[in-house]
Structures are given as C-alpha cells and as structure tokens.
C-alpha cells in the first residue's frame, strides 16, 4: 500500500525522535525480515530541505508495533480509515532519519523502488528471513477446496502468490526458492499493472518449511496459521 508521506514543516514537528539509526547496519534474522517487509510495504522520501523520512504502511497493527519495537522507536503509529466498507484501516509508522535513509539507498532501495527493486546482496543465512518479510508485505496465501478441470470432486489447494510491480524482484525470489527451498522453477507472469509468482500445494509446503524454519517472533500470524491449518489436515505432503 503506497501513499504520500505527510511531512510537517514546523520546528516542533521536525524534532528528532528516538530510533536505532544503526538497526540496518548488521545482518541478522530480524533485520533481514524488516528490510524485506520494507521493500514490499515501505516507502521513503527526502523533502526540499533535505530532511529524510521512511515509512511503513500495513493493515496489521500488531506487526507494525513489533517493527517499531525492533527499531527502538517511540514514533507514533497513525491510522488512516477509508470510506469504503470493505477496506481495512491502514496503520502507518513514519520515521525521520537521514542515516537510515542513506543505509537503505546503499541496498539499492530508492524512492521510486516499486518497479526497479531487486533482492539486495544478503548473507545466505538471512535470505529466508528477507523473503518472509517480503511475503508478509506483498504475498498472499489461500487454502480451500477448488474445482479442477475435468474433475467432479473438489480438491484441497494451498495457494501461495507474490504480487509486485518489480519483475526483477519476483524473478530473484523464484530463483532463490528453487536453489534453497527445492521448489519448482516458476515463471513470473504479467497481471494488469503488476507481476505475479504462484505456487500451490507441494511447493507451498516447501515454502512454509523454508521461511519458518528458524525460531522467530516476527511474522504475520494470520498467514502462518493458514499454512498450518492445511498441514494439520493433509500433512507435510499433498
């Protein structure tokens, strides 16, 4: 979800707030996850005075609270409500920091990242965490019974999808999942103004095992629960 950064210009509003400006300096599981999530659902800008800002926007407030905690910040989490009945409120965390802004630039992340972003150079042990973060931002998981062609009986499907404006990002993810998770080689398809990468059943289970293989406290619980509901019924192999 993208929206314009609303930056106040008065001196009081521009007063710096506490944040761990060196959070992205050292690779670890949590840093890689939050970087991946930012690549999907974050945005950044520099105003005319040279002040730099980054922001996260998501419909899951609890995850945003966790991200704020890891970043060591007390910045206010704001909410935006939409008039559309079916739209969930969007929660936003905005942080002013030139240090963090420049660090993200060093990873190849820019203000106009949506169409050009790719997986940065990441230590092998942190790649699964980065992909889990990106999936929680721009991924989707569905489980249900669906009719298949030429079959009367519906079949259980665990369907995993990434959607992104960046074809390069999805191609990087597909390549990484093939090499590290043993998933099939998949083609990235054009879908309206975006690109998509799809997996089902066996590969979805492999994906689950890959991104949740470490003990971690930072992930979207509602997505993990869908995987585990499928596994509780059908086991590890579909």
- Do 142 and 225 share a domain, yes or no? yes
- Do 96 and 138 share a domain, yes or no? no
pLDDT of amino acid 83: 72
- Do 158 and 196 share a domain, yes or no? yes
Asked if residue 73 belongs to a domain, the reply is yes
Cβ-proximal residues to 221 (8 Å cutoff; 6+ apart), any chain: 62
- Do 53 and 83 share a domain, yes or no? yes
- Do 128 and 229 share a domain, yes or no? yes
Element (H, E) at 65: helix 61-70
Asked if residue 133 belongs to a domain, the reply is yes
- Do 40 and 133 share a domain, yes or no? no
The model's pTM: 0.87
Asked if residue 15 belongs to a domain, the reply is no
- Do 156 and 83 share a domain, yes or no? no
Cβ-proximal residues to 189 (8 Å cutoff; 6+ apart), any chain: 195, 196, 197, 198
Among 78, 106, 134, residue at a domain's last position: 106
Q: Write the pLDDT tens digit of every residue in 53-70.
A: 999 999 999 999 999 999
Domain encompassing residue 42: 23-106
Residue 132 near residue 212 (C-beta atoms within 8 A): yes
- Do 27 and 79 share a domain, yes or no? yes
The answer to whether residue 155 scores a pLDDT higher than 80 is: yes
pLDDT of amino acid 237: 64
Return the minimum-mean-pLDDT range out of 21-25, 108-112, 157-161.
Answer: 108-112
Asked if residue 16 belongs to a domain, the reply is no
Asked if residue 3 belongs to a domain, the reply is no
- Do 101 and 133 share a domain, yes or no? no
Residue 146 near residue 157 (C-beta atoms within 8 A): yes
The CATH code of the domain that includes 136 is 3.10.28.10
3-state secondary structure of 139: strand
The answer to whether residue 7 scores a pLDDT higher than 90 is: no
pLDDT band at 6 (very low <50, low <70, confident <90, very high): very low
Number of compact structural domains in the chain: 2
């Amino acid at each position: 979800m993208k929206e314009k950064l609303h930056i106040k210009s008065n001196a009081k509003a521009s007063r710096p707030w506490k944040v761990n400006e060196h959070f992205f300096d050292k690779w670890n599981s949590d840093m890689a996850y939050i970087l991946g999530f930012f690549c999907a659902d974050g945005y950044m800008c520099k105003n005319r005075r040279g002040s730099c800002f980054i922001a996260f926007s998501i419909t899951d407030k609890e995850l945003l609270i966790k991200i704020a905690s890891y970043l060591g910040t007390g910045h206010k989490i704001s909410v935006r409500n939409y008039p559309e009945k079916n739209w969930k409120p969007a929660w936003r965390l905005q942080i002013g920091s030139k240090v963090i802004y420049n660090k993200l630039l060093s990873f190849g992340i820019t203000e106009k990242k949506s169409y050009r972003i790719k997986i940065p150079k990441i230590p092998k042990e942190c790649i699964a965490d980065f992909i889990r973060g990106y999936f929680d931002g721009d991924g989707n998981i569905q489980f249900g019974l669906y009719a298949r062609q030429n079959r009367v009986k519906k079949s259980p499907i665990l369907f995993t999808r990434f959607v992104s404006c960046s074809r390069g990002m999805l191609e990087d993810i597909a390549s990484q999942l093939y090499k590290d998770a043993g998933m099939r080689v998949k083609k990235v398809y054009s879908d309206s103004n975006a690109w998509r990468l799809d997996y089902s059943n066996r590969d979805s289970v492999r994906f689950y095992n890959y991104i949740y293989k470490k003990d971690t406290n930072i992930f979207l619980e509602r997505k993990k629960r869908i995987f585990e509901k499928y596994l509780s019924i059908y086991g590890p192999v579909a």
